[in-house]
């Protein structure tokens, strides 16, 4: 599969149909686990907004939604290891059952930072759902409470994930093989 707007080669990893089925299953599991409770979803920008939009429609509970912008990639296809907040929450999470919604759990550095920062705001509970988990890249010993798919150590785009702000609109999750002239244009993403 090639994207006509780029010379980068992309190949299919997860189809839209497979993703949608797993998102439905995650929504059902989360609904069962939080039955009778109000759930506050915190989408981690920018990569998780597509996943969050689909997931929230499959959670049969009273939910509220907020967003937190975090960047850890900088230029390139690997995490810089440094995390910065690009957009803070709009409301307090104190006393709420919070479910952070991430696109991908990679080294664990971002989630470790995120967990510490959100825990300091005194939620009633705090859990993580990640669409993708690259467990073999883990530096910090963390794991998501809910995982869509465990994937190998590949750079992926689509379904909200980007490379240099491109490819977010793809309905599938694809492996990206950047051309040498494009290697290094990536900004925030995974």
Q: Which residues pair with 11 in a beta bridge?
A: 175
187, 74 contact by CB (below 8 A): yes
Confirm whether 66 is a catalytic residue: no
Distance CA 118, CA 89 (A): 10
- Indicate which residue of 97, 103, 106, 162 is catalytic: 106
Residue 39, token pair as written in the block: 């759930």
Distance CA 100, CA 55 (A): 12
Which candidate, 101, 106, 144, 131, places its Cα nearest to that of 16?
A: 131
Q: Which residues pair with 166 in a beta bridge?
A: 163
183, 6 contact by CB (below 8 A): no
Distance CA 128, CA 138 (A): 16
Which candidate, 73, 141, 85, 79, places its Cα nearest to that of 117?
A: 85
Q: What residues are labeled active site?
A: 106
């Amino acid at each position: 599969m090639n994207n006509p707007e780029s010379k980068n080669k992309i190949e299919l990893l997860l189809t839209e149909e497979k993703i949608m089925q797993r998102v439905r299953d995650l929504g059902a599991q989360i609904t069962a686990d939080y039955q009778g409770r109000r759930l506050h979803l915190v989408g981690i920008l920018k990569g998780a907004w597509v996943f969050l939009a689909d997931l929230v429609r499959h959670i049969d509970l009273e939910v509220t939604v907020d967003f937190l912008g975090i960047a850890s990639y900088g230029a390139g296809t690997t995490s810089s290891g440094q995390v910065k907040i690009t957009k803070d929450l709009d409301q307090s999470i104190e006393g709420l059952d919070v479910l952070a919604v991430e696109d991908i759990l990679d080294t664990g550095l971002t989630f470790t930072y995120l967990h510490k920062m959100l825990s300091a705001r005194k939620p009633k509970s705090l859990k993580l759902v990640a669409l993708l988990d690259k467990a073999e890249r883990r530096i910090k010993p963390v794991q998501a409470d809910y995982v869509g798919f465990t994937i190998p150590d590949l750079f992926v785009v689509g379904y909200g994930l980007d490379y240099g702000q491109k490819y977010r609109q793809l309905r599938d999750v694809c492996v990206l093989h950047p051309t040498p002239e494009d290697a290094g244009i990536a900004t925030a993403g995974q």
